[in-house]
Amino acid sequence: MPLKRKKQPESNKKNIDKSGGLFHRLYPICLKEREGAMRQFKFRAWDDEQKKMYSPESLEQPEIKDNEKKTIYSYLSFGVLCIYDFKKKEPVELFPMQATGWYDKESKEIFEGDILEMDDGLHQVIWSEETGGFILLSGDGMVMMGGDYLTDMVTIVGNIYENPGLIEYKK
């Protein structure tokens, strides 16, 4: 028996840019529906030219009305999220960082690239292809699995873009 395709809900059509069909809505990207609940993936992005961090909300450009042209666009290319800002003549590539779904002691959301302080020192949040999840890498090269259990143990002290010298790795 052939499988029937689900019809796309009308609510999803608001996520398509009227000027050319580019998908620009980053917050949140919903990838999987399960029992009426959507799993949400959030991203923030670093602009290396302006040395500016865009929060998930600011990537949406809420100050620009829906009928006006937005300048930040994203798309998937060979499984990699690409984010560009077209404010200038040459587009600026932004570096995406995914939310982990974890929070620190102060209830701040932890993102890929964040530097966390724990009792045993500083750790960077990185994505591991081997484990298929986020892990913590310490300055001395020790690796720890991450997870919700971290909430009572960590504080975000910076990130690798805004605070590049905060964590030093031993060789």
Q: Is the pLDDT of residue 14 over 80?
A: no
Query: CA 120, 132, 53, 139 torsion: positive or negative?
Result: positive
pTM score > 0.85 for this model? no
Reported as a single tens digit per residue, the pLDDT across 101-146 is 999 999 999 999 999 999 989 999 999 999 999 999 999 999 999 9
Q: What are phi and psi of 163, to 5 degrees?
A: -135, 65
Say whether pLDDT at 5 is over 80.
no
- Ranges of CATH 2.30.30.290 domains, the chain: 104-171
Which class in CATH covers the domain with range 104-171?
A: mainly beta
Query: Taking 60 as the threshold, does the pLDDT of residue 48 lie above it?
Result: yes
- 150-163 pLDDT, tens per residue? 889 999 999 999 99
Q: State how far the Cα of 118 lies from the Cα of 40, in Å rounded to an integer.
A: 27
Confidence of residue 80 (pLDDT cuts 50, 70, 90): confident
Write down the pLDDT at residue 98.
93
18 or 72, greater pLDDT: 72
Q: What does the alpha-carbon distance between residue 168 and residue 109 come to, in Å, rounded to a whole number?
A: 23
Q: φ and ψ at 91, to 5 degrees?
A: -65, 145
The stretch 78-98 carries a mean pLDDT of: 85
